Chain A
Amino acid sequence: MILSLKLAYRNLIGAGLRTWLSVIVLSMSYVVIIWMQGFLEGWNQQARRDTIEQEIGGGQYWHAHYDPYDSLTLKESHAPAPAVLQSENTAPILIAQATIYPQGRMQSVVLKGIDPAQSVLALLTSALAKKGAYLPVLLGERAAKSANLRVGDQVTVRWRDAHGTYDAREAQVVHIMDTDVPTVDAGTFWVPLEDLRSMLQMPREATLLVVDETFNDPPSLTGWVFRDQTFLLEDFTSMMKMERVSSAIMYTILLALALLAIFDTQVLSIFRRRREIGTLIALGMTRGGVIRLFTIEGALHGVLAVGVAALYGVPLLIWQAHVGLSMPEVVDNYGMAIASTIYPAYSVRLVVGTVLLVMAAVTLISYLPTRRIARLNPTDAIRGKLS
């Protein structure tokens, strides 16, 4: 084996440019696969962190009738917040539909009442503590853009209370927050919880309660259903799975191109070097030894490619992880948590896994054409003839 390695290395280095072309293509596979997976992992981590911090906390108690995908359920899904959850570890949220009239236009929004003093969610709700004649409103950038509102702008809000009576009030935008989580932003007006309870005539009521991450062993409460992080992140998890599949298709294509280059090199090599193969056999190498030599030679492309990839890939990937990748504005409308800059995250598992995957593929693809050597007639091969 050591002899084969030594000879294969000599042959590879001796082959010069031909080797380095294959190695460079293969090294790009390593770098692109690691970069793409690192990008997805960075996005995954960032989006999960932001969603947990700004929307779902350590889990949520939902009113039994609450369905976030059916706004008609909002009318039925409210009840007094359970006394057992009245602590600083929970943030009750009351949700209602409303209509706003910015610059004479009419637009539907969702009012979300939240305690300005809450510390469960990383939202700047303290801005809602402002007292005045107007109902203070906290908006995300998407909602502000959609309603064409800026900080200080006033807008009429109309809603129906618990008894079905319409009412209206002037609201003032107190702060516009920059958030990556579209569900706390798009079409959502955050208002002080007590103001909303009073407007809807739903004292002490909530639609859902967010608990913080220190909250353990959620008790079972009648009329409320506990949704854990896994459930609340289910959509995102499925979306990430889909993203991983589509990125896997892309890097499979890239890897296939690189492997095709190796396969092609091997086939060509065996054809072009049949005289050499015959000579090796004449000099006393077994056919198995020649097959092993050519397989190792092919596989060594993968090893050299690791070195080359490390040479330019490591600084490139570190730089990318440092500066991140700016996302275009259009992704704001994707309906999923995407930061304006995504910082790729590379793990040891990702790097080692990619190297092993590519090495295994290269070794297999290097071996396949060498089986032809076993059928080669050495007396023909020595004279460079095909048999």
Chain B
Amino acid sequence: MDKQIIVQTKRLTKHFPVGGGQFTALRDINLTFSKGEFTGVVGPSGSGKTTLLNIIGSLDAPSEGSVTVLGKPVEALTHKQAADLRCRHLGFIFQTYNLLPVYTVYENVEFPLLLLDLSAKEREEAVLQAVESVGLMPKLKSRPAQLSGGECQRVAIARAMVKKPAIVLADEPTANLDAENSHHILQTMEKLNTKFQTTFIFSTHDDKVIQYLRRKITLEDGEVAEDQEAGIRDQEEEG
């Protein structure tokens, strides 16, 4: 059975102005991502991983080529349309968690739902479910400053998942975490991916993440060097 393609890049190229010239962060990227994938974009620093995620997340636009996310061409979206796409269908997880510091765990997770204009009851149910799924119920009223790094990232996952988005984009989600917390986070995301069929796209160069991926796309100097479709951890475990 064909998998539903939800992200497609065609000859995606991205230049950034540097000094008087320009730096090419991505060059001729042709990729497709299907519903329910658990995929990582890996590569060394400066290889273009974050740029690719930003463009898929409609936070940035391609310089050349096209990117289609859930049928919408990112390069043609207005600021408002891009915001609407992110608001309804995309979840983000950042390396530095990016929680809103004056909000409690509950309020941070609730935030995307406020933008969706859901009723208070719907919001409460969804927030409690999301916080429960990352195991942070006892910390519901805590503020980010009162949480450990692992807990903050779990809040970020709950925030990304609370609206049940089609795609979650996770940029180096374990870079600031120790091994134990990294595994905990990844197991949580893997569980959510299986449960909700949410597509997870990671940008990472962390081996702990790589072993969880079911597809690994390696970028080198802005180009796709390798696109490995196997269940890496399963293969290794079998091996």
Q: Are A283 and B115 in contact (CB under 8 A)?
A: yes
Interface string of B40-57 (1 = CB under 8 A from A): 000000000010001001
Determine which of B54, B107, B111 lies in contact with A379 in the assembled complex, contact meaning CB atoms within 8 Å.
B54
Q: Mind listing 10 A-B residue pairs with CB under 8 Å?
A: A11-B102, A14-B101, A14-B102, A276-B101, A279-B94, A279-B100, A283-B87, A284-B87, A284-B90, A284-B112
Using an 8 Å CB-CB cutoff, how does the interface string of A267-293 with B read, 1 for contact, 0 for none?
Answer: 000000001101101111111110000
Q: Is the CB of A283 within 8 A of B112?
A: yes
Q: Is A79 an interface residue (CB 8 A)?
A: no
Set of chain B residues within 8 Å of A288, measured between Cβ atoms: 80
**Tally of chain A residues near chain B (CB < 8 A):** 26
Is B206 part of the contact surface with A, judged by Cβ < 8 Å? no
Alpha-carbon separation in the docked complex, A275 to B156 (Å): 14
A286 engages B80 (CB within 8 Å): yes
Interface of A is mostly: helix
Report A's interface with B, CB cutoff 8 A.
3, 6-7, 10-11, 13-15, 275-276, 278-279, 281-289, 378-379, 382-384
Within the assembled complex, what's the spacing in Å between the Cα atoms of A289 and B114?
Answer: 13
Given that A379-B60, A383-B96 are known contacts, is A285 also in contact with B54, CB under 8 Å in the complex? no
With beta carbons under 8 angstroms apart, the residue of B84, B86, B96 that contacts A282 is B86
Given the known interface contacts A284-B115, A379-B54, the answer about A278 and B83 at a Cβ–Cβ threshold of 8 Å is no
* Residue B98, interface by CB 8 Å: yes
A sample of 11 more A-B contacts (CB under 8 A), given A3-B117, A10-B107, A289-B83, is: A3-B114, A7-B114, A11-B102, A279-B100, A282-B86, A282-B94, A283-B111, A283-B115, A285-B115, A287-B79, A382-B98
Contact of B98 among A11, A275, A286, A287 (CB under 8 A): A275
- Collect the chain B residues with CB atoms within 8 Å of residue A286's CB: 79-80, 83
What is the chain B residue whose CB lies nearest that of A6?
Answer: B114
Interface string of B91-120 (1 = CB under 8 A from A): 010101010111100010001101101000
Complex A-B, nearest 4 residue pairs according to Cβ-Cβ distance, in ascending order: A14-B102, A284-B87, A279-B98, A286-B83
Given A3-B115, A379-B60, A382-B94, A281-B54 contact (CB < 8 Å): no
User: Chain B residues near A379 (CB, 8 Å)?
Assistant: 50, 54, 59-60
Chain B residues with Cβ under 8 A from A13's Cβ? Answer: 102
Q: Are B94 and A281 in contact (CB under 8 A)?
A: no
How far, in angstroms, from A287 to B81 measured CA to CA in the complex?
A: 12
CB distance from A353 to the nearest CB of B (A): 34
Question: Within 8 Å CB of B114, what residues of A?
Answer: 3, 6-7
